[in-house]
Structures are given as C-alpha cells and as structure tokens.
A and B are shown apart, each in its own frame.
Chain A
Amino acid sequence: MSHLQLCLAFSSVLFAVGLTGALARSNSILVLLGLELMLTAAIMNFIAFWRFGPSHAPATGVIFAVFAIAVAAAETAVGLALVISVYRHQRNIRLPEANRLRG
C-alpha cells in the first residue's frame, strides 16, 4: 500500500465515521459535527493528492484546501444559527422532531 493509498484510506474511514455519527445521533449539534468530519475528510483528500499525486500547479491544491476550510467554517456557522433558531421553537434540539416539512 503506497503512501497515497494509505492517506486515502485514512480519509475514507474518517468520512465513514462522520457519516455514521450523522445518521445515528438525534442531537442536532452532533449531526452537525458529523457533517464537519465528512467535510474534513474530503479536504484531507486534496492534501493527500497534493503531496503524493502528480503536481502541475503546486499552489492550487493548497489554495483549494484553504478555500474549502473557509467554506466549511461558514457552513458550520449558518448551521449552528439554524440550530439555535430551531431551539427557540422546539425548546430542544432533537433532530427527528423537526420534521414539519413532511409530505
């Protein structure tokens, strides 16, 4: 197993853990944290390929990763604001209870 494959395997497992957590827990904040893990794993892929893959534009990988981190931060902020807003209505942050947009 090459370095690249190892790194990729690492990020895949982290992604799967994040997914499991997001699916398993009913606390909204934990679900958000699971989503963060998934995002982090995806960004790790970029760095893995930057380090071990053929690099034509060395700076691009880094820049992309930085941008992705910024986006993740923004997304987290908005998500947490949503959670607070939902809490104001429900008085708890149990995700399965926030199912009013049902058909």
Chain B
Amino acid sequence: MNAMVDALWLIPALPLLAAGMGALTPRRGRRFAAGVAIAAMAGALVLSCLALRSALAAPSAHLFHNFRWFDLGNGVVELGWLLDPLSALMCVMVSLVGLLIFIFSLGYMEADENFARFFCFMSLFAAAMLGVVVANSLLLLFISWELVGLASYLLIGFWFHKPEAAAAAKKAFITTRIGDIGFLLGLVWLYDATGSLLLYDGGSGVLEAGVLGNLGTLTLASGLAVSTAISLLIFCGAAGKSGQFPLHVWLPDAMEGPTPVSALIHAATMVAAGVFLIARVFPLVSYDQVLTADPVHALTVVAFIGAITALLGAAIAVAQSDLKRVLAFSTISQLGYMMLALGVGSWVAAIFHLLTHAFFKALLFLAAGSVIHAAHHEQDIRRLGGLGRQMRTTYATFAVGMMALAGVPFLFSGFWSKEAILHAASEWGVSRLPLYAGLAAVVLTAFYMTRLLCEVFWGSPRSPEAAQAHENRGVITVPLVILAIGSVALGFLGTPAWPWLQSKLTGEAVPPHSLLEGGGLMMLSIVLVATGIGAGWALYGRRVRASADAADPFAAAAPGLFSFLGARMKLDELYAATLGRMNTFGAAFSDFLDRWVWGGAVGFLALLGEFTGSVNTEVDESGLNAGFNSFSERIRRLGRAYSGAQSGEAQGYLRTVAIAFVVLALLVLLGGSR
C-alpha cells in the first residue's frame, strides 16, 4: 500500500511526459503524438485502478507521501500526494473519461492540421487535472490548478485564428483568474495562520483536528472566524473554475473550442475541479459550523450561490438555440447543484453527482460532437432535425444521456445522484430556499433537454447540412456507447439500498435503507421530471418545428422572457458596462499618470542630468583643458626659445664656455675661497 502511495505521482506524470513528447513532435507526427497521448492515458487509467483497489482496502485512511521541496527561511515548503477513496475515484474518472474522449478525438479532429498540437495540449490538461486530484499540498494543488487554467486557455483558443475563439480563451482565463486571486489569498492566509499547506501530515496537516482546533480560535475584529474567511476565499477560486454565479460568464463562450475539449474540460473534469476542491478541504470549510458566534458560515454562502447558479443556468438554457450553448448552461446548472450539495453539508452527494455528471455530460457533448461532425459543423438546432433516423447510435446514446441528465427515475444514474442532493437539501436546517431552487431546476432541466432532443433528432432535416448527415465511424461511436453504459451503471453505486459509494468515500459504514428512502421527496421529483418532459414534448415534440425560420413556441408564448433568457440575462452586458468601463477608466488614468506624472518626473531628472553633463563638459573644456593647453603652450614657447640658443655652431659654444669660465674664475678670485 505504501508503494502505491509513493508511486502515485506517476499518474499525473505519464500524461505530462506525453505532453512533453507531443510538444517536440512536428506537425506531421500526428500518429505519434496521438499514440503517445492515448498510451499515457491508458497507463494512467491502469495505475488509477490499482490505486483505487488499494484505497478501497482501507477507506478511512488518508495515506500520504510528503517530501521537502525547498527551505524558506525557517520554514520548509513541502509537497506531497494523497491516496484515499476520493482521490482514487477522481483519478479513475478523469483517466477513463479522458481516454474515451482522446479516442473520440482521433475521429473528430482528423481533418485538422494541428492534430499533434491538440493531443499535446490535451495531455497537458490531463496531467494538470490529475495533479489537482492527487495533491496533498495546497501549494501543489494550486500549481496544478493554474496549469489546468493554462491548458483550458490553450484549448479554448485552439483555433486561434478565429477572433471569437481567441476572445473566448482570454475571457475564460481572466474570469477564472479573478477567482484564483481569492484562492491565492486564502492559501497565503492559511499558511500564515497554520504554518503549513499540507492537507494531511501525520497530525500537523491543515485538515487534521489539532491544526483546525487552533485555527478555530482565531477570529477577526468583526467577529468573523478566520476559518470562515479562508474558506470563502478558497471558494472564490472554486466559483471561478466551476462557473458559479457571478463568475459563470466564461463557460458559454468557451464552447468556441473543439467539442472534445468542451466534453473533457467544460463538462467532466476542469469545471468539476472547483467542486472537488471544496470537497477535498471540507473539514476546513465546514469547521465553522461548530462556531456559534460566527456571523456567517462559509457553507451557507456556498449553498446559496449553488442554488442561484442551478436555477440561473437552467433558465437560460431554455432559450438557447446553439446545441453546445444549451449543454454549457446545463453544465452551469448542474455545477450549481453540486455546490448546493456541498453547502448543505453533504459532500458525498456532491461527489456522487460529480461522477455521474462526468459520464452523462461527456456523453452528451461527445454525441453533440458526433452530430456537429456529421452535419459539417452546423450547430444551430433550428437548422438541424431528423437526425434520429440518420444517426441511430448517436441518437440512442444522446437519449440515454438526456434521460440521465433530466433525472428519469430508477434506471439512470442522474436520478439517484440528484435525489441524494435534494434529500440533503431538504434536511438542511438553515433554509428551504436551496431545495425549492433545486426542484425548480429539475423541471427546467427536463424541459430544455426534451426541447433539445426534439429539435435535433425528431422531425425532418431543416437544412442541407442536416440532410446529408450520416452516422460516424466506430472510433467516434464506440466511446459514446461506453459512456452510455457508464451513465446507467454508475447510478447503482449510490442508491440508498446499497450506499457503496457513500460508505467508501466517508470511510464509515453507511447502513443501507430502503430503496424508496425519502419517499415523499422522491415522488415529488419524479412528478416534476414528468412535468418537464411532458411540457417539452407538448411544445416541441408533438408538432416538430417545420423550418429553421419558424418561431420557437416558447418565444411565441412569452417573447420578452424568451429574448431576455436568450441573451443570457444580459449579464455580459452588465459586466461590460460596469466593470469593463471601470477597467478602461483605470487604464486610461494609469496611462495619464505614466505619461505625464512619472514620465514628466523622469524627463525632468533627465534634463537635470543633461544640464549637469553640459556644465561638466564646459568646465572641462574651457577650464581644465584650456588651462592645461595654455600651460603646455607656454612651456612649448619656452622650449622653443631655449632651443633657439642651439645655433649648431661649435665655435659659438666654445665662446660661451670661455666666457663662462671667465665669469666663474672671477667669482672665485674675487669672492670665494682662496
């Protein structure tokens, strides 16, 4: 078991190695790059399964392996990785879904000339995501977090010559960055308060009882507990990455990337990283529940934001006409559900829903990708139609995914995971609002998914692209089938009758209840699902839209509401008007300062320097040099005068000597000694 923990680093290392090799491959080495990436993911999957096996053997243990990275003054910065059921399950999910999406991409991206670069970036993303999952140190987690953001930027902007794609990549990165600032502040504060960033460290880890107890005693001036403040800051990062309101605006735009990217990153894994983060540090985030003096509990904020997001996402999805945008807002809504589950205290339900959502959302995106690939990149659902007959496998698997997402009871995994969430929400003591929001979203989810299914697959083709669409090759359809199987099977791991997942995740044995546990709530949600599907069928299925230009039935019924929702509740415009304007003003002000104030000061100093320099030159030239020159000139003249005495005439010299001798002799005779 210890060997498994020590080797845990291989799980993210294999895709990272594949990314490195892919980076060095030239454009024509497409098969090599793809092969290396898929092999690495397969290897990671194998290792993840082994890790899961050893983690499940002792589910309550958090096995870790820490090592010293570098010394920082008195403190030591350590990194490490963690093996427990949560991280093992996440590893298996990421590597399995990732592997299937990689295989799908072989078919989907084959026409693209940047094939090798695609797989390199995808491997980088997989490595970073697995790094987030296995990290035992919040520092290592943050580093991997940022790498995930980088990979997302590179992949959203994969077709960078399209201005919309480049803008979307920039928007995604900046929006998540805003969240990451909060995350980093939280980490720094945590390190300052506890002296460590390790999660489990044999007693001194941040999630362990001793350290948490010490942290709990710290409060701010306003009475807010420090642990609450840190938890809220960490939640900022999670909210950014997981597309919670108000930082959700990047997710719909991120659909500019290739569909496999949307499937992997923006459905199954990266957006789930925020949920995973909160679940990972749940002991810290939930600690303030015991502090009665705390004005705000962190999890309350999480629950409400999750509820708002769930409702908001579902509402906007109803009015979207782009295939991938509907799925994007659906993802936002489901992420809201997960955050809601965390907020009301059941992180197990959140993780359960995360796992099932990964499968059926990836399935839905890949099926959408299959449709897009077959219809020559026609994504407007008003211009599709009749594909049910032309693309049978895709239709069947899409239907499975749709039913799982909508929460069709008993058979599909989405029903059980959503039930767990609603059950937990109903037992929350603080407020019933999240429960009501969740129930409302159930209706909307069923409604818009039915609408999507009817518009795309029923009726007859409404455009030439849709007419010529035919089923894709096996390399595209087989992953769809596998994911469909997963969307069904996974649900049975968490039913109340057999709470295998719950007990394994918490490490405690959860007693099995009857299958219809929480019967009233379950009945209610089944009724709501039926209502949603029924309404959807009534509006879109009974009389399928005849042509692309025909009005949407909902739009005909409530045009104002429809256009408001269609414009994403105008939140982007709101941000542009307020924050965008503020930013522009700030930039202009900085430019002014830079140009006139700082630039002026620097220019003034430069002038001063120039003036000093010229004075110096002047003194040097006319003062020193001139003086020196005149002095030398004088000596030269003196020398010339003396040299005039050299007549060259030997007799002249002799005469001079004779006269001198006479003078000397006279001096001696008349003056000196006798």
Tell whether, in the assembled complex, residue B655 and residue A101 are in contact, meaning their CB atoms are under 8 Å apart. no
Contacts of A19-46 to chain B: CB distance below 8 A: 19, 22-23, 26, 31
Q: Let me know if A2 is at the binding interface, CB within 8 A.
A: no
> A19-B658, A23-B658 known; A101 and B651 CB under 8 Å?
no
Interface size on B, residues (CB 8 A): 13
Residues B654 and A102 in contact, CB atoms below 8 Å apart: no
Bound CA–CA A96/B291 (angstroms): 124
Which residue from chain B places its CB closest to the CB of A100 in the assembled complex?
B648
A102/B651 contact (C-beta < 8 A), A19-B658, A23-B658 known: no
Chain B residues with CB below 8 A from A101, complex form: 646, 648
Option from A22, A100, A103 in Cβ contact (under 8 Å) with B654 = A22
Q: Which residues of B have CB within 8 Å of A31?
A: 650-651
Residues of A within 8 A of B644 (CB): 103
Is B647 among interface residues, defined by CB-CB distance under 8 A? Answer: yes
Q: In the complex, A19 Cα to B653 Cα: how many Å?
A: 12
Are A98 and B646 interface neighbours, CB within 8 A? no
A11 to B674, CA, bound (A): 21
When distances are taken between beta carbons in the complex, the residues of chain B under 8 Å from A22 are 651, 654
Within 8 Å of chain B (Cβ to Cβ): is A95? yes
Tell me if B643 counts as interface (CB < 8 A to partner A): yes
| Chain B residues, Cβ within 8 Å of A99 | 647-649
B3 close to A (CB within 8 Å): no
Q: Which residues of A contact B645 (CB under 8 A)?
A: 103
Determine if B650 and A98 form an interchain contact, defined as CB atoms under 8 angstroms apart.
yes
**Complex: A73 Cα to B646 Cα, angstroms:** 29
Question: Which listed residue (B646, B650, B651, B655) contacts A103, Cβ 8 A?
Answer: B646
Candidates B643, B647, B650, B658; contact of A95 at CB < 8 Å: B650
What are the residues of chain A within 8 A of B651 when measuring CB–CB? Answer: 22-23, 26, 31, 95-96
Closest-CB distance, B668 to chain A (whole angstroms):
15
A47 to B308, CA, bound (A): 140
Cβ of B646: which chain A residues have Cβ within 8 Å of it?
101-103
Chain B window 230-250, contacts with chain A (Cβ cutoff 8 Å), 1 for yes, 0 for no: 000000000000000000000
Identity of the chain B residue whose Cβ is nearest the Cβ of A31 in the assembled complex: B651
Chain B residues, Cβ within 8 Å of A96: 649, 651
Most A Cβ at <10 Å: residue of B646, B647, B649:
B649
A95 to B644, CA, bound (A): 19
Task: Tell me the bound Cα distance from A102 to B642 in angstroms.
Answer: 11
A48 CA to B80 CA, complexed, in Å: 119
A25 to B101, CA, bound (A): 124
Residues of B within 8 Å of A23, CB to CB, are 651, 654-655, 658
Given contacts A19-B658, A22-B654, contact A103 B649 (CB under 8 A): no
Task: Provide the B651-662 mask, 1 if CB < 8 A to any CB of A, else 0.
Answer: 100110010000
Determine how close the nearest CB of chain A comes to the CB of B635; give it in whole angstroms. Answer: 15
User: Considering the chains assembled together, what is the distance between the CA atoms of A23 and B655 in angstroms?
Assistant: 7
| Closest chain A residue, CB of each to CB of B643 | A103
The contact string, 1 if C-beta is below 8 Å from chain B, for chain A 67-103, is 0000000000000000000000000000110111111
A99 to B649, CA, bound (A): 5
Residues of A within 8 A of B655 (CB): 23
Contact call B648/A102, Cβ cutoff below 8 A: yes
| CB neighbours of B647 from chain A (8 A) | 99, 102
Q: Point out the residues of chain B lying under 8 angstroms from A102, CB to CB.
A: 646-649
Contact with A along B615-657 (1 / 0, CB 8 A): 0000000000000000000000000001111111111001100
- Among residues of A, the one whose C-beta sits closest to the C-beta of B645 is A103
State A95–B645 Cα separation when bound (angstroms).
18
Q: Return B476 CB to nearest CB of chain A, in Å.
A: 107
Question: How far does the alpha carbon of A80 sit from the alpha carbon of B643 in the complex, in Å?
Answer: 28
Min Cβ gap B647→A in Å is 6
> How far, in angstroms, from A99 to B647 measured CA to CA in the complex?
7
Closest to A101 in B: B648
List of A residues within 8 angstroms of B650 by Cβ = 31, 95, 98
Q: How far is the CB of A39 from chain B (nearest CB, A)?
A: 14
A101 to B649, alpha carbons, bound, how many Å? 8
* Docked complex Cα distance between A72 and B552 (Å): 140
Q: A96 — nearest CB in chain B belongs to which residue?
A: B649
Q: Name the residue of chain A whose CB is nearest to the CB of B655.
A: A23
Provide the bound-state CA to CA distance between A98 and B649, in Å.
7
Q: Which residue of A lies closest to B646 (CB)?
A: A103
CA distance A103 to B654 in the complex (A): 17
Q: Roughly how many angstroms separate A99 CA and B646 CA in the complex, as a whole number?
A: 9
Q: When chains A and B are docked, how far (Å) is the Cα of A101 from the Cα of B644?
A: 12
Shortest CB-to-CB span from A24 to chain B, Å, is 8
CA distance A57 to B643 in the complex (A): 48
- Closest residue of chain B to A102, judged by CB? B648
List residues of chain B with CB within 8 A of the CB of A26: 651
A22 to B649, CA, bound (A): 12
A86 nearest CB across to chain B (Å) = 11
Which chain A residues lie closer than 8 Å to B658 at the CB level? 19, 23
Q: Which of chain A's residues have a CB closer than 8 A to the CB of B643?
A: 103
Question: Chain B residue with minimal CB distance to A16?
Answer: B658
Enumerate the 7 nearest inter-chain pairs by beta-carbon distance, A residue then B residue, closest first.
Answer: A99-B648, A103-B643, A102-B648, A103-B646, A99-B649, A101-B648, A102-B646
The residues of B with any CB-CB pair to A shorter than 8 Å are 642-651, 654-655, 658
Of the A-B pairs whose beta carbons lie under 8 Å apart in the complex, a sample of 7, sorted by A's number, is: A19-B658, A95-B650, A98-B650, A102-B646, A102-B649, A103-B642, A103-B648
Given contacts A22-B654, A26-B651, A31-B650, 6 further A-B contacts (CB under 8 A): A23-B651, A23-B655, A98-B650, A100-B648, A103-B642, A103-B643
